[in-house]
Structure 1
Amino acid sequence: MRDYDEITAFLGEWGPAQKLIFLLLTVSVIPNGFAGFSIIFVGDIPEHRCSIPGNLNLSQAWMNRTIPLVPGTQIQYTQCSRYRLDVIRNLSELFPDPDLLNVSGIDEEPCLDGWDYSQDQYTSTIVSEWDLVCNDNWKEPFAASLYFLGVLIGSGSSGMISDRFGRKIVLFGTMGIQVLFNLLITLSPSWEIFCLINFFKGIGEISNYMTAFVLGSELLQKSIRVTYSTLGIGFFYAVGYMLLPFVAYFMRGWRMLILILSLISLLYIPLWWFIPESPRWLLSKGRVKEAESIIRFMAKKNGITPPAVLFTDDELEHIQNKQVKSVPVIQLIKTSRIRAITMINLVVWMILAIGYYGLSLNVPNLHGNDYLNCFLFGAIEIPANIAAWLLLRKFPRKLSLSGILALSGGVLLFMNLIPSSLLVLSTALVLIGKLGNTCAFSIAFVYTSELYPTPMRNTGIGVSSMASRAGSIISPYVAMLDAYKENLPFIVMGVLMVFSAIVVLFLPETFNIPLPDTISQMQKVKWFKIRRCSYSYVSKTKTIGENNVVIFKEEML
């Protein structure tokens, strides 16, 4: 009995229709490249110091003495305190020249009148607009975490929604959600409203990416799917990533930046008339005429005459019955064999997300130009996806994933030994770490799909993806560790990646091994075992003269 791929083999592997679908779907993920990382510039923390009211009538010399210096420095002012203004005012009346006094012993007070922010880099960010500094500095990473919480919910629900209503309508519906919530967020009157809208924005944006991935996998032939998921989607996701700092360089206010980025998404509306629905999904819903119409259109586009009858009744029944339905999540931990693989996958995917987003969101804490660093972080994903594509084609999965994770983690740990004066070297090491992490993410997606049997493959990938979203929620706080110790975020991420590289070694190898269709065909996790030596004593009776003597024989098992 022929399956869908055999029936539609007459279309060819790489005709004009497939090329057009490949291009349009990959281009549609460009907004996803800048959506999750816009917080780098929208939520950046400008240089700031306590605001001093102008009605104190202080001279400029005394104004410069109202803010304490950071201990050990001569030019850097503290950001969360000032000297008591009533004392400063009284002293200024008695001593017009502040150089005659040592003001360092004056009591300090918090910034009761707000903060003054530098506008050298930004005209406004959400930090400067709503004073998300000092005691409220937790609010900026919390806004990013809420976005990733929306991403988690979106990744869990997008599959079910597209399975019910169709790939195409969800793809373009989520594009509309992206534009709508991006426009609404520019009107946010408060931090609380910003967080709420940012949460819903996360739900829509990941759903768009996931649906584009599934639609392309179902429309394109098997030989093109790995290329589509790595060089296709990965490349244009990186293009969107690189576009972000370019737009942010010219749009220094956070509201205008988001507005321009949202308007870019409007350019994708005409794609509705060029991207078809998935014939596989249509057939699973019994919409045979619509599926045939799309297949015949693709054949015409490729200059091929299709068969008069595409599907026999038996083939239609076979295709519809072959649709794999997701199994309950509990099945992933029901037996020891599946449970071990699932637990390792959850740990690895969570660490991958912490590393990926932790590195990306840490751009403002790096030395050098923020816009250039962000562009380089996006550009490095192109060779990372090429490397993943090559490794997936030629090398074992387990060793590739473990080796890349060990390299990425080791480079980040080495960062702690680099003097802060070597800016170029430290930035290059971070980029190598980002390259390895991105490459590992692409490999992990394919590797995970090969570990699970067919009935629970979609569920296994979905749960692993949700674990990665949980890691992305944590990542903004990992990036904040720089405030406690320089390079601490890199140390934490490096340790986690090296740990995950070790854990991956316990997984079975899947390279050049047929995909398992049943649980019994799954390979087992290979734990390290300590071989124990045990002894058994076997008694034998031997007659010596008139006496029976019992002899014990010691054997090692």
Structure 2
Amino acid sequence: MRDYDEITAFLGEWGPYQKIIFFLLSLSVFPNGFCGINMVFVGDIPEHRCLIPGNLNLSEAWMNRTIPLEQDKDKLQYSKCRRYRLDVIRNLSEIFPDPDSVNISEVGQEPCLDGWVYSKEQYISTIVSEWDLVCDNGWKGPFSTSVYFIGVLAGSFIAGQLADRFGRKKVMFLTLALQTVFGIIQIFSPNWEIFCTFNFLVGLGSISNYMVAVVLGSELVGKSVRIIYATIGIGTFYAAGYMYLPFVAYFIRSWEILILTLSLHGFLYIPLWWFIPESPRWLLIKGRVQEAEEIIRQAAKKNDVTAPVMLFSDLELQDMKAKSNQSQAVMHLFTTSNIRTTTILNIIIWMVLATGYFGLSLNVPNLHGDDYLNCFLMGVIEVPAAIAAYIFLQRFPRRFSLSGILFLGGVVLLLIQIIPSNLSVLATVLMMIGKFTAACGFLIVYVYGTELYPTVVRSMGVGLSSTASRAATIISPYIFYLGLYHEFLPFIVLGCLMVLSAILTMILPETFKIPLKDTIDQMEKIKRFNCKRKHKDHPYQGETTRENNMVITKREDM
């Protein structure tokens, strides 16, 4: 049976149809660049100190002495969580008009019983100032972000299965709707608990949309465009969304209005429903031949080419009908040796990449500059990462591309420990290179993962790998708690994990210049090492040599 790329070869590789699909699907991931990352500003902690009630009638001099000074690294600053006992301060102020005549340090301290005062210098409000997520409640701020990533984890797992069962297009727009609608509802949260609930629901749709868009685009565009779509197309629009966030946040300093403004962008994507088709590959696997044929003929019309009178032979139609009766579940990702090994290795590699990417993103030094500029630079670095991923995937085999970038990232992180303390700038540069390799690796692994799995379980396979990576995202901040025991231990752990993943990547089968598989049976025929007896009808003819009574065929398309 002919593969899908052969059947649709008459469409060409880069006609108006492919250009429209390329642009619209790349555009659909723009909100993913700021969805979730907006917690950098929404959940930021403004400068704060204990509230001192105005009914105490304290003089300005005494008011300035009500907050104790504490040592913070190399400087003294006012305590954020403690104040001197106000009943004692009030009595002393009545006796001693000048606070300098009293040893204030002997006055007992108490927590901020009347709440806090927050600086308005940078923000009008954040969720921290809204619900006093400081001091004893300080854990609630980071937990708000963790809840979002828990939603992302659940969404990645569910969306993959739904996309394989109900279609790529429906699930992509459903997840877009989730992050838009619940993002808007989120601003009406009466308390922190409700906010977290909606943050979880926003997370359900966030990265799921990204994942399904990668799969749908890879199945709609031609094989020569597939790589540039999943790297430069998807990567640059994601980076654009990332860079767009600090631009909007700079002018909008209220967390409710910021979330509302960003969420409203989702409504701009409603018209895309009538321009983005369902995947013909998926329709054919489901036995919906007439719908698939209609989409293919519409594509031919847009490209101004003539479609064959008969797209599919009778034998191909019978084969599609037989395959459409086969239901797939997550267990099918572990049924045969090839797909089982591929799934396990993918899970490990995706988890390491997620740990490195988000761990470094949350712990790279702030570059000693403006928060908005720093966030913008974090987005900028995604662009060269996307270009590098495209070059690697276009010119080099998948295994070597991914393994090489993982190995480079691991070595760079391991080198940080030997950098002298007076060269902190160099250490920062190495961490940024580590972030670059993680971002580049993520783009490569999305393409590689899409090519590794057959059509019947492609979204499910990528979804499971993405789910594993999101689990790592939740725990990645804890990697840096190891720094309490040894300053460089987090970088040693991440570096070793990335080097190990580089080695494991070489076990995966190669997919460079190989047509996408449609069934699990086709995937099982893939050999990780191309050692097989030459057959006169073998589709790949190349130079052969005989060694130990075995013919080694060198495939020309590898």
After TM superposition, is the score higher than 0.5?
yes
Match of 2:507 in 1: 508
Matched-pair contact (CA < 8 Å) for 1:4–1:319: no
> Aligned Cα RMSD in Å?
3.2
Cα distance, 1:156 vs. partner?
A: 1.0
Q: What is aligned with 1:225?
A: 226
User: CA distance change for structure 1 residues 417 and 266 in 2, over 3 Å: closer, same or farther?
Assistant: farther
Q: In 2, are the aligned partners of 1:141 and 1:477 still within 8 Å (CA)?
A: no
Q: Deviations over 1:113-146 (max 9, x none)?
A: 1111111111111111111111111111211111
CA deviations 1:14-68 (Å, max 9, x no partner) are 1011011110110011011110211111111111111111111112221121111
Question: Where does residue 498 of structure 1 map in the other structure?
Answer: 496
Task: Give the 5 Å matches for 1:243-322.
Answer: 243-321=244-322
Structure 2 counterparts to residues 365-444 of structure 1, below 5 A: 367-395=368-396, 397-412=398-413, 428-444=429-445
**More moved, 247-256 vs 395-404:** 395-404
Instruction: Tell me what 1:38 maps to.
Output: 38
Q: Do the aligned partners of 2:41 and 2:255 also contact (CA within 8 Å) in 1? A: yes
Q: Structure 1 residues 118 and 409 mapped into 2: Cα distance closer, same or farther (>3 Å)?
A: farther
Shift of 1:173: 2.4
Distance 1:10 1:452, change over 3 A: closer
Contact 2:336 2:524 in 1 (8 A): no
Deviations 1:342-371 (A, max 9, x none): 555433322221222233344795531111
- Deviation track 1:392-415 (CA, whole Å, cap 9, x = no partner) reads 333455554344334434545666
Give me the TM-score of the superposition, normalised by structure 1.
0.84
Question: How has the CA–CA distance of structure 1 residues 261 and 369 changed in structure 2, closer, same or farther, with 3 Å as cutoff?
Answer: same
Q: Deviations over 1:439-480 (max 9, x none)?
A: 12223334556677898776554332211010112235557x
- Cα distance in 2 for partners of 1:17, 1:221 equals 11
Aligned residues: 520
1:171 matched to 2:169? The reply is: no
CA distance in 1, matches of 2:315, 2:342: 37
Is 1:201 the counterpart of 2:199? The answer is: no
284-293 or 28-37, larger mean C-alpha shift: 284-293
If you compute each CA radius of gyration, which structure gives the higher value, 1 or 2?
1
Is the CA contact 1:279–1:295 (under 8 Å) kept in the aligned structure 2? Answer: yes
Gaps of 5+ in 2: 530-558
Q: Per the alignment, do residues 435 and 446 of structure 1 end up closer, same or farther by CA in structure 2, a change over 3 Å counting? A: same
Structure 1 regions of 5+ residues with no counterpart? 525-557
- Structure 1 residues 359 and 106, CA gap change in structure 2 (3 angstroms): same
Instruction: Tell me the amino acid that sits aligned with residue 493 of structure 2.
Output: V
Structure 2 contact 178–205 (Cα < 8 Å) conserved: yes
Call closer, same or farther: CA 1:397–1:366 in 2, change over 3 Å.
Answer: same
| Aligned equivalents of 2:16, 2:310: Cα separation in 1 | 23
Query: Match of 1:293, as an amino acid?
Result: E
SS in 2 for 1:347: helix
Q: Does 2:102 align with 1:106?
A: no
Cα shift at 1:260: 0.5
Contact conserved, 1:47 with 1:117, CA < 8 A, in 2?
yes
**Alpha-carbon contact 1:47-1:118 (below 8 Å) kept:** yes
Work out whether residues 408 and 494 of structure 1, in 8 Å CA contact, stay in contact via their aligned partners in 2. no
2:418 & 2:386 partners in 1: Cα distance?
A: 29
1:118 corresponding residue in structure 2: 119
Secondary structure, counterpart of 1:209 in structure 2: helix
Contact conserved, 2:287 with 2:320, CA < 8 A, in 1?
no
Deviation track 1:417-442 (CA, whole Å, cap 9, x = no partner) reads 77999886565444322111111222
- Residues 170-205 of structure 1 deviation map (CA, whole Å, 9 limit, x = unaligned): 222222222210110011110000000111111122
- Structure 1 vs Structure 2: percent identity of aligned residues? 58
2:354 is equivalent to residue 348 of structure 1:
no
AA aligned opposite 2:186: I
In the superposition, relative to structure 1, how do residues 74 and 277 fare at CA in structure 2: closer, same or farther (>3 Å)?
A: closer
What is the Cα deviation at residue 254 of structure 1? 0.6
Provide the residue aligned with 2:361 in structure 1. Answer: 360
**SS at 2:52 equivalent:** coil
Indicate the larger mover: 387-396 or 216-225.
387-396
* SS of match in other structure, 2:49: strand
Q: Note if 1:28 corresponds to 2:15.
A: no
Change over 3 Å in CA distance of 1:342–1:2 after alignment to 2: closer
**Which residue pairs with 1:546 in the alignment?**
none
Q: Is the 8 A contact 1:367 1:423 kept in 2?
A: no
Alpha-carbon separation, structure 2, partners of 1:121 and 1:173: 36
CA distance in 2, matches of 1:173, 1:326: 21
Structure 1 residues 255 and 387: CA distance shift in structure 2, 3 A:
same
CA contact (8 A) 2:159 2:463 kept: no
- Contact 2:220/2:280 (CA < 8 Å) preserved in 1? yes
Q: Give the aligned partner of residue 85 of structure 2.
A: 84
Classify 1:228/1:317 alpha carbon distance in 2 versus 1 (closer, same or farther; 3 Å): farther
Distance 1:83 1:407, change over 3 A: farther
